[in-house]
Structure 1
Amino acid sequence: MTTDIAAPSAAPSSAGNADSAGAASVTIRNAADVSRLVNSGAAKRSDARIVVAIALGGVFLDAYDLGALAFGIKDVAREFSLSPTGTGLVASAITFGAIIGAFIGGYLTDKIGRYRVFMADMFFFVVAALACAFAPNEWVLGGARFVMGLGVGIDLPVAMAFLAEFSRLSGRGNKAARIAMWCPTWYAAISISYLLVLLLYAVLPDGHTDWLWRLILGFGAVPALLIIAIRSRYMSESPVWAANQGDLQGAAAILRRSYNIHAQVAEEAKRTPAPPARRAAWRNYGELLKGVYLRRTVLATTIAIASSFAYNAVAFGLPVILSTFLAQSMLSTILVSLALNLLFAFAGGLLAVRLVPTFGAWKMTVLGYACQLAALLGLALVGLPDGGGEAAFSIGMLALFLLGQGFGPGSHSMTFASLSYPTSLRGVGVGFNQTLMRASSTLSLFLFPVLSAALGTGVFWVIALAPLVGLVALLAIRWEPAGYDVDAEDFHPV
């Protein structure tokens, strides 16, 4: 694995005087000093954890909105008398929006800053969720889902930037661990959508099933409004991004406010501000395919595409698998789907957060793909279960797949995407990764019902190719992003 760590900046100096809160004054001279302060976890008490929690709230919205229609699409088709093609277009509108949103969002995150993009993104979620809830026809619903997809696509590049740039480099709560938090957050959102479906399924009268999907989609506005309400108290721009833009005064103000670090800009730095480390531009997408970033981009995108293809086919097809292949009732399908997500996918995500500082993202992703490959081969070999024993084995294989996804590629696809690039390229790096990943999601969501109808349980042989490709890529490119100071590459190019 690579060990090409850039030389660290000289440590920022600490003056002997202190501010009113008793914190020592720190002088910053350049962006490297700001990055060093954040990476070292210099703050004893700060708002950084709250910023991370709010960023994860955006990830929650992404997952919730993507999965909210899984159980309601049949009711939508019936209410609006949709053909199979029309149903597919309404269901996939959000993924098409996410593809475009990720590409645009990656550029905007680097161009105008993390804070502005994140706040604008929240309004996308509110407007789109309410439009979905009150949609009078399929055109409004599809359009609102597309706008919602734009928000989903824009959000992940900026959320990952916040997680990476408000976390220390090593130790507990480091960058890799906090980025991995996106995974259990994602599964928690999916599980909450299942719980809401279960609750509404139980309390709504039979004659008003059309309310189910409207209430589920409309609920997505609630967490977005909460984030908007508390943004002014806790959210701020990334100090590393501000410093990289040459705004050391702004970075110092953020360090004082969000990190409780009494930072002051050196007089010589005030007189001759440094230019941006790398100016944001559309051509920066091309930088991802040059030099040392090429192999990282190949690995990160292969992991993302393979993970997305397999996960979407299995997880979003879970109701179909349980109800068709395993002959479960609607209520049993909801309960088993909820249990599998909570006990295995969510738990696996928590394991990733706990263990990545010790084992690294590369080893955990290899192990996760190995579990998924074994699970899919097991499902393919059993085929249609004949009796309770085989059905239990098949459900066990689904559990193994979701566990492997949780602690492996599900968590660390974002670790590779976010920590393979320095601050100046992080937005476009995650945006490029997410654009290809969303395209893979769209393809798998389209192909799974087609292939399962044609091949039955033989579809698992096809899905098994995804973790196999991921394993091959990892063995060919042994890049470990966890614990590596990639932000230093802005100051000492590799």
Structure 2
Amino acid sequence: MSTVTLSPSAREVATADTSHQSSPAVIRSAQDVSRLVNAGAKPGSHARIVIAIALGGVFLDAYDLTSLAYGIKDIARQFALSPVQVGFVASAITFGAILGAAVGGYLTDRIGRYRVFMADMLFFVVAAIAAGLAPNAWVLGGARFLMGFGVGLDLPVAMAFLAEFSRVSGKGNKAAAVAAWCPAWYAATSVCYLLILSLYALLPPAHLGWLWRLTLAFGAVPALVIIAVRSRYISESPVWAANQGDLEGAARILKRTYGIDTVVERDATPVRAPRAATWRNYAVLFNATYRRRTVLAAVIGAASSFGYNAVIFGLPVIIASFLQQGPLTTIVASLALNLLFAFVGGLIGVRTAHSIGAWKMTLFGVALQFVALIGLASIGKPAAPVYVGLAILLLGAYLFGQGFGPGSHSMTYASLSYPTSLRGIGVGLNQTLVRAASTVSLFLFPVLAAALGTKVFWVIALAPLTSLLTLLAIRWEPSGYDVDSEDYADVVAQKAA
């Protein structure tokens, strides 16, 4: 049987059409595996299914973070909580996510993507059921903390799957795959509000106090579905496996998931990536190569999380209290805003990732958010219906800018600023900072909203302004860039030395 030796040019192989490959490719190193992945999977392969399952994990993250939003007022009333206690219950999930992200990022690089993903789904099942049955605020807070730990574990591994099972350039590239986390997130948020709306219509008025419990417990259902299907389609990242020196394992994954036939050169000496997984890799994120990328990703992620969590978690409060609307209008408006603005914006972020790029779309998005928040702060509590409508449109504009801008591309920067050897750690650090910002936001919003009323929008507006200024100072475009080539360039340099 004849064989085809891979070209040494990453760009040439990345643009090669592997769908017409008629003979197996020879694998001599992890770089060869990376080039095959970057070129894209064969039609009909399982790569897209792996991406879909990874997005299912993101769906769970978003659902669990959102599911408490509408019921927080009922919880406060049922458990007689003060605004500070409400802040603690609301932010418990992000406290867990901080710890989970720090640990999950390291474990994703250390023991692999597959094992971490297998484990974190169990957190969602146990925590969702415990939260739905919570007899008091302490148990509820503990269950939400456990749920947050699962969220923190999941996001680094989900982003690794999205980045490492997609091509480097063209339509559907790595940036588009990672950006798809955003519409998946908003789809989950919309499903959450749709479920709340359905339960609100079905439950007798005397039993509406159960609404928040049923909403939280439902989070176990999609987690169980993912657990049921994951073993059939999910496998380890071929690039991660190759970086560990397991070229045979990487070849099997390429065949199973990518539909690509490969032959491992028997006398090839497996060469690992230049970095083993270690806690010291956190320091590498701030070396001369990655420092500016790390700062940019951290600012976009943290600022986006602070503003978004205040708005999306506070949306029922904003509509019900600031805009003085009833429960049904609050639920319907929250659902409509997510579907019509946030979800659509997220789809646009995915579609434009390969053509316009992450930097421009993020810049446009945070600029729109800043304008929208200044408008909301200026309107205050609207008295006339026309101002109520304008305020809702401004909320929609904020969510639309979030969708195609920092919502889509905060993860693009966090995931694609680093090669495979650093990706788990990079996303883990980013998510630790992001969840810290979420914790501050979720804790402060009930307190600031009670003290400042609509003036709280002036405070929230500082978040997109910070992102805007940082983007103008650091112009880094990750879309279409083969960041793994940096790892293999180090390997070549080490061999030459």
Scaled by the length of structure 2, what TM-score is found? 0.93
Shift of residue 450 of structure 1? 2.1
Whole-Å Cα distance in 1 between the matches of residues 416 and 72 of structure 2? 37
Shift of residue 42 of structure 1? 4.7
Structure 2 counterpart of 1:244: 243
Q: Which moved more, 1:424-433 or 1:207-216?
A: 207-216
Pairing 1:98–2:97 present: yes
Pairing 1:86–2:85 present: yes
Whole-Å Cα distance in 1 between the matches of residues 82 and 453 of structure 2? 23
Please tell me the residue identity of whatever aligns with 1:167: S
Please tell me the residue identity of whatever aligns with 2:323: L
Whole-Å Cα distance in 2 between the matches of residues 9 and 28 of structure 1? 17
Structure 1 counterpart of 2:4: none
CA change 1:24–1:7 in 2 (3 A) is: closer
Superposed, 1:191-270 pairs within 5 Å as: 191-269=190-268
Q: Which moved more, 1:202-211 or 1:284-293?
A: 202-211
Shift of residue 7 of structure 1? 6.7
Q: Which moved more, 1:137-146 or 1:374-383?
A: 137-146
Superposed, 1:37-76 pairs within 5 Å as: 37-76=36-75
Whole-Å Cα distance in 2 between the matches of residues 22 and 478 of structure 1? 38
Q: Is the CA contact (8 Å cut-off) linking 2:87 and 2:442 kept in structure 1?
A: no
Structure 2 counterpart of 1:18: none
Superposed, 1:91-490 pairs within 5 Å as: 91-269=90-268, 272-490=269-487
Whole-Å Cα distance in 1 between the matches of residues 262 and 99 of structure 2? 39
Q: Is the CA contact (8 Å cut-off) linking 2:341 and 2:396 kept in structure 1?
A: yes
Whole-Å Cα distance in 2 between the matches of residues 127 and 277 of structure 1? 38
Deviations 1:431-461 (A, max 9, x none): 1000001111111112222222222222212
Given the alignment, which residue of 10, 25, 28 partners 1:8?
10
Shift of residue 321 of structure 1? 1.1
Deviations 1:338-385 (A, max 9, x none): 101100000000001111111000000000011111111111222221
CA change 1:135–1:460 in 2 (3 A) is: closer
CA change 1:453–1:77 in 2 (3 A) is: closer
Deviations 1:265-311 (A, max 9, x none): 11122xx3223431000111111111110000000000011111111
Q: Is the CA contact (8 Å cut-off) linking 2:83 and 2:446 kept in structure 1?
A: no
Whole-Å Cα distance in 2 between the matches of residues 362 and 10 of structure 1? 25
Whole-Å Cα distance in 2 between the matches of residues 446 and 132 of structure 1? 19
1:258 match: secondary structure: helix
Please tell me the residue identity of whatever aligns with 1:56: L
2:346 match: secondary structure: helix
Q: Which runs of 4+ in 1 moved over 4 A?
A: 9-12
Shift of residue 10 of structure 1? 8.4
Q: Is the CA contact (8 Å cut-off) linking 1:115 and 1:237 kept in structure 2?
A: yes
The RMSD of aligned alpha carbons is: 2.0
Q: Is the CA contact (8 Å cut-off) linking 1:369 and 1:405 kept in structure 2?
A: yes
Q: Is the CA contact (8 Å cut-off) linking 1:184 and 1:350 kept in structure 2?
A: yes
Please tell me the residue identity of whatever aligns with 1:469: T
Shift of residue 330 of structure 1? 1.0
2:353 match: secondary structure: helix
- Percent of pairs identical after alignment? 67
CA change 1:313–1:88 in 2 (3 A) is: closer
Please tell me the residue identity of whatever aligns with 2:233: Y
Q: Is the CA contact (8 Å cut-off) linking 1:325 and 1:457 kept in structure 2?
A: yes
CA change 1:147–1:23 in 2 (3 A) is: farther
Q: Is the CA contact (8 Å cut-off) linking 2:97 and 2:151 kept in structure 1?
A: yes
Whole-Å Cα distance in 2 between the matches of residues 375 and 85 of structure 1? 28
Q: Is the CA contact (8 Å cut-off) linking 1:11 and 1:33 kept in structure 2?
A: no
Q: Which moved more, 1:448-457 or 1:53-62?
A: 448-457
Deviations 1:202-253 (A, max 9, x none): 1112222232122111111111111111112111000011011111111001
Whole-Å Cα distance in 2 between the matches of residues 214 and 201 of structure 1? 12
Shift of residue 83 of structure 1? 4.1
1:412 match: secondary structure: helix
Structure 2 counterpart of 1:17: none
CA change 1:450–1:139 in 2 (3 A) is: closer
Whole-Å Cα distance in 2 between the matches of residues 368 and 236 of structure 1? 35
Shift of residue 11 of structure 1? 5.3
Whole-Å Cα distance in 2 between the matches of residues 367 and 65 of structure 1? 29
Please tell me the residue identity of whatever aligns with 1:111: R
Deviations 1:157-209 (A, max 9, x none): 00000000000011121100111110011011011110111111111122222
Structure 2 counterpart of 1:3: none
Q: Which moved more, 1:118-127 or 1:454-463?
A: 454-463
Please tell me the residue identity of whatever aligns with 1:39: N
CA change 1:179–1:9 in 2 (3 A) is: closer
Instruction: Give unpaired runs (5+ residues) of structure 2.
Output: 1-7
Instruction: Give unpaired runs (5+ residues) of structure 1.
Output: 1-5, 15-20
Whole-Å Cα distance in 1 between the matches of residues 312 and 76 of structure 2? 21
Shift of residue 465 of structure 1? 1.2
Q: Is the CA contact (8 Å cut-off) linking 2:124 and 2:223 kept in structure 1?
A: yes
Q: Which moved more, 1:415-424 or 1:273-282?
A: 273-282
Shift of residue 135 of structure 1? 2.4
Shift of residue 37 of structure 1? 0.4
CA change 1:115–1:485 in 2 (3 A) is: same
Q: Is the CA contact (8 Å cut-off) linking 1:28 and 1:265 kept in structure 2?
A: yes
Deviations 1:143-168 (A, max 9, x none): 21111110001100000000000000
Shift of residue 313 of structure 1? 1.4
Scaled by the length of structure 1, what TM-score is found? 0.94
Q: Is the CA contact (8 Å cut-off) linking 2:41 and 2:47 kept in structure 1?
A: no
Please tell me the residue identity of whatever aligns with 2:306: F
Q: Is the CA contact (8 Å cut-off) linking 1:362 and 1:479 kept in structure 2?
A: yes
CA change 1:422–1:147 in 2 (3 A) is: same
Whole-Å Cα distance in 1 between the matches of residues 182 and 111 of structure 2? 27
Whole-Å Cα distance in 1 between the matches of residues 458 and 135 of structure 2? 41
Whole-Å Cα distance in 2 between the matches of residues 404 and 362 of structure 1? 13
